[in-house]
Amino acid sequence: MNIKILTSCSGLDFSYAEGETVDVKADIAKDLINAGYAEEIKTAVRSKKKAEPDNADT
């Protein structure tokens, strides 16, 4: 899960600085979010459209 660190924090196996974005296991991310140290980064789903040809008369 991608999260943005709001407050610098550390644990036994990690150390994150304020403003850092990291990809962590869901359980760690949820703990940090619930404690107010991080927020989830939601990714937008992009549609895979084919580019349509330009029909301009040239």
Q: What does the pLDDT read at residue 43?
A: 79
- 15 within a domain of the structure (yes/no): yes
Alpha-carbon distance 24 to 54, whole Å? 43
Q: What does the pLDDT read at residue 49?
A: 67
- 33 within a domain of the structure (yes/no): yes
- 8 within a domain of the structure (yes/no): yes
- 56 within a domain of the structure (yes/no): no
Model confidence over 3-57: pLDDT tens digits?
A: 999 999 999 999 999 999 999 999 999 999 999 999 999 977 666 666 666 665 6
Cβ 38 vs Cβ 25: under 8 Å: no
Alpha-carbon distance 25 to 38, whole Å? 13
Q: In which domain, by residue range, is 22 found?
A: 2-40
- 14 within a domain of the structure (yes/no): yes
Read off the tokens for 30: 């949820």
Domain count for the chain:
1
